[in-house]
Structure 1
Amino acid sequence: MDVQTQNEITRVAVRAAQQMLAWGAESDLVEDIGQRMGRAFGMDSVELSISANALVMTTLFEGRCVTTTRRLREHGLNMHMVCEIQRICVQSEKGILDLAAASRRLKRLTPWTWNRWAVVAIIGPSCAAFAHFFGADLAGCLITALAASVGMVVRQSLARRHFNVLINWAVTAFIATLVTRIGGLVEWTQTPEIASAACVLMLVPGFPMINAVADMVKGHYNVGIARWGQATLMTISAAIGITLAMQLTGLGWL
């Protein structure tokens, strides 16, 4: 194997690891996929160092090392992308894909997403169901569904315009809470506080929190702490939006 081939194998392996991390995979899985991709194409060993915003990979073949660094640009959470990269890795290990084919597949990957209006249609009733479980009346459940749906439209619109995620969370929480607070002001519902609590459940950063704990449990403390910090800031941003809406309407937790 010549140096050029080893360089290309390193590029393919680090690209797979980079995309896995960017799309929300836990660090242990990222490390595993990067190493397996390298070994699938003939490397003796692959070493991968993961930090909060960068990857460093070294491939070793017959005593010759190639090291490369890639900066991480987060894309959000998309398990479709994670599964597709794992599929490419498995097919490479089985010999179904050669190096060139794997490289092309990785470059052509595009995230699959739900239709935005289908998401809105799902989120509204979901938050309304939580409001019902919490004891809200029928009007409170309907207001929760409306507030969550409006909030999701706002969240999607801000995300499409590439607003900072913290601003997105604060504005979305503010709008959703404001809708439920208005419902309380005009006395459409007797349980506006339950509606206010349920309509923002779509903003709970559960996946980043789970990944953060998983990373720290498995020894990836730097990435785990970074993810934990991001999830905490998202929660604080949502709390700020909720508080501003409550202050604007003059209603606290009734």
Structure 2
Amino acid sequence: MESKQRMISRLIAQAGQMLLAHGAESALVGGIMHRIGLAAGMDEVEVSLSSNSLVVTTLADGHCITTARRCADRGINMWVVTEVQRTCIMMEKGIFNYKMAQDRLNQISPKRYNRWLVVFMIGLSCASFSHLQGGDWTIFAVTFIASACGMIVRQEVGHRHFNPMLNFAVTAFVTTLISSQAMIYGWGNQPFIPMASAVLMLVPGFPLINSVADILKGYINTGIARFVMASMLTLATCLGIVGAMTVMNVWGWVS
């Protein structure tokens, strides 16, 4: 029985680790871990979460096992979160036992869109924002090129595992450098718009939403940590934008 409880504890910890590493909010992480433990036959499951680690304690037949895991940031990936949730539901319905659930978790690997599709869609979305702000088709094209090139830089820096704040700063610098050409050469009807629209891809919306959700649901420490990280990413983006403006001596919408 002790061996089974140890395996179940590891299963619960792995599920929580995958959820936390791929951007799930704390309430969801704790809820899924608790449900997996009960579905696997544990009498009680207690979970403690922080921004980059978790501790889980299982109780069965009066025997207690505690395990801790570090949770490195693997990037937001809702496909992984959904697959872990499906595994939990299958356990609750009796389709999976804990060994089958363990095998399923081991087979889950993050799926990602084709990088060039991402580049195209990011460019299109930022260009659409510029058009909504009143820019003509020249402004649309400049914004598309600037944001698409910025996304390529972001992907390349990310693949080399640099610090996310450095990634955001470099991406913002390159994106603003390209979009500022509209101001320099007077392209389009409102040449300052690309400088504002092309960097919208760097707004850390998901971490900010998760931080508020965590705070509202009682996970104060995790929420504050996520809010601080999102704020630091925003600061890094601002530094990159200001750096590019200083180099080109073009201040866009600021002037």
Q: Does 1:212 align with 2:218?
A: no
Structure 1: 5+ residue runs without aligned partners?
none
Match of 1:66? 65
TM-score for both structures, normalised by structure 2: 0.97
Match of 1:129? 128
Amino acid at match of 2:56: M
Amino acid at match of 1:248: V
Match of 1:47? 46
Rounded Cα–Cα distance in structure 2 between residues aligned with 1:23 and 1:57: 18
Structure 2: 5+ residue runs without aligned partners?
none
TM-score for both structures, normalised by structure 1: 0.97
Structure 1 segment 40-189 matched on structure 2, within 5 A: 40-189=39-188
SS of the residue corresponding to residue 110 of structure 2 reads coil
Q: Contact between 1:28 and 1:215, CA under 8 Å: does it hold in 2?
A: yes
Match of 2:221? 222
Rounded Cα–Cα distance in structure 2 between residues aligned with 1:97 and 1:168: 41
Rounded Cα–Cα distance in structure 2 between residues aligned with 1:92 and 1:171: 45
Q: Does 1:29 align with 2:28?
A: yes
Q: Contact between 2:142 and 2:182, CA under 8 Å: does it hold in 1?
A: yes
Aligned length: 253
Q: Contact between 2:182 and 2:194, CA under 8 Å: does it hold in 1?
A: no
Match of 1:231? 230
CA RMSD of aligned residues (A): 0.9
1:110-146 CA distances to partner (integer Å, 9 max, x unpaired)?
0111000001111111111100111222211110000
1:86-121 CA distances to partner (integer Å, 9 max, x unpaired)?
001111111111211111111111011100000111
Task: State the 1:214 CA deviation.
Answer: 0.1
Rounded Cα–Cα distance in structure 2 between residues aligned with 1:52 and 1:110: 22
1:38-66 CA distances to partner (integer Å, 9 max, x unpaired)?
11110011000001221010001122111
Task: State the 1:221 CA deviation.
Answer: 0.5
Rounded Cα–Cα distance in structure 1 between residues aligned with 2:162 and 2:134: 35
Task: State the 1:193 CA deviation.
Answer: 1.7
Structure 1 stretches of at least 4 aligned residues deviating more than 6 Å after TM superposition = none
Q: Contact between 1:184 and 1:190, CA under 8 Å: does it hold in 2?
A: no
Task: State the 1:190 CA deviation.
Answer: 4.0
Q: Contact between 1:214 and 1:224, CA under 8 Å: does it hold in 2?
A: yes
